Amino acid sequence: MDKKMEKPMDDMSRCGESGKSKFSTYLGVALLLLGAALLVLKGVSPEYLDADGVLHERFFLLPLSALCFLGGAVVLAVAGIRRLFGKFGK
């Protein structure tokens, strides 16, 4: 293969890696923002006792927000570690 043909192929492979890294960064940030939004929604939603003494609240938002925070932190940590090893690996 020609030397001229090797360089563009090498450049294209690096573009694919940075695209994956950007996607995982955006996904991690989106999960963290979703977790924060769910926590705020839980805070502003009304909680009340009805006439029969049954508590009405949106408790399910707490574990969902915790899962989103945890998922976002894991995705960002993995993306950061991959980026760090990618820089030192070359």
Q: What is the pLDDT of residues 42-71, one digit of tens each?
A: 999 999 999 999 999 999 999 999 999 999
Q: Are 74 and 44 in contact (CB under 8 A)?
A: no
> Which pLDDT value is given to residue 12?
46
Averaged pLDDT for residues 14-29: 78
> Which pLDDT value is given to residue 85?
86
Averaged pLDDT for residues 2-17: 53
User: Phi/psi at 58 (nearest 5 deg)?
Assistant: -100, 70
- Sequence ranges of the domains in the chain: 29-90
The Cα 82–Cα 74 span in angstroms is: 12
Averaged pLDDT for residues 17-30: 85
Give SS3 for 15: helix
